[in-house]
Structure 1
Amino acid sequence: MDYLAAEKYLLAKPETRFDFPFGEDVKVFRVKNKMFATLALGKGSEKDTDGKMAGHYCINLKCDPDEAVMLRDIFPSVLPGYHMNKAQWNTVILDGSIPQGELERMMDNSYLLVVSKMTKKDQQSILVHL
């Protein structure tokens, strides 16, 4: 999955929009003003200590803490969340090594985790569209 496909998939979720609170290089995807993903171009010549890779976009996704660790063990391109709470966020390097279905599942889970923490009223207004 490339940058444009990831962006399109995220924006297709109900009540989703993006903005740039961290600067023009980082798109932040929100559902009802709650962040559930970021998308940015990685920096550096290879994987560096910050978990970024040159030439590849990276997506930060919220994740259940236990699942976050398992995904990092399974996929070399899944790293602790860059500039995020590393227990609850993963950075996924969009280098083509993770199957599209698995990436979509990770994005869906991030979205649903954020929605699950909202008020019942907000949850209902979103879930009616799923």
Structure 2
Amino acid sequence: MNYEWLDEYCLSKQGAIKDFKEEWNATRYFVGEKIFLMVGGDKYNKSIITIKCEPFFGQMLRDEYEHIVPGYHMNKLHWNSVYFDGSVPDNVVKQMIDMSYRIVLNSLSRKLQNEILKDA
């Protein structure tokens, strides 16, 4: 899988923005100044997507797909990394992105959530 749709999909989320953090060599996607997804590499420079998930769901995915591992350089309970060269289907990655966006959005203050969603 190469996930060519990833950038467009992430930026289609209400209030989503991205930046590139040079020190990490990573593209980060934010909602309300909190990261919901990061694209970078592991210690072998293999491309990965790191996504926040509910712990039970993340563990279930790691058990099912060998190319989903605990989040690289992130909290292993809440974050998962997906290898670009793996075989994780697009629909599973999109489900993970949707969950991550929702978790991060819901962690924001009600006022900020309302500002982000006002045009929805």
TM-score range, shorter chain: 0.7 to 0.9
Count of equivalent residues: 120
Q: Residue 36 of structure 1 aligns to which amino acid in structure 2?
A: F
Provide the alpha-carbon RMSD of the alignment.
Answer: 2.0
Question: Any unmatched runs of 5+ in structure 1?
Answer: 45-51
Find the aligned partners of 1:61 and 1:108 in 2 and give their Cα distance: 10
Match of 1:97 among 67, 72, 87: 87
Question: Any unmatched runs of 5+ in structure 2?
Answer: none
The alpha-carbon deviation at position 21 of structure 1 amounts to: 3.3
TM-score normalised by the chain length of structure 1: 0.81
The alpha-carbon deviation at position 128 of structure 1 amounts to: 4.4
Percent sequence identity is: 35
The alpha-carbon deviation at position 62 of structure 1 amounts to: 0.6
Segment of structure 1 superposing worse, 119-128 or 88-97: 119-128
The corresponding residue for 1:108 is: 98
After TM superposition, where is structure 1 displaced by more than 2 Å over at least 4 residues in a row? 1-4, 20-24, 41-44, 124-130
The corresponding residue for 1:10 is: 10
Higher relative contact order (CA 8 A, sep 6+): 2
- Alignment CA distance shift 1:7-1:114 (3 Å): same
Match of 1:118 among 92, 105, 108: 108
Contact kept? 2:42, 2:72, Cα under 8 Å = no
The corresponding residue for 1:27 is: 27
Q: Residue 34 of structure 1 aligns to which amino acid in structure 2?
A: K
Find the aligned partners of 1:119 and 1:66 in 2 and give their Cα distance: 25
- Alignment CA distance shift 1:30-1:61 (3 Å): same
Q: Residue 30 of structure 2 aligns to which amino acid in structure 1?
A: R
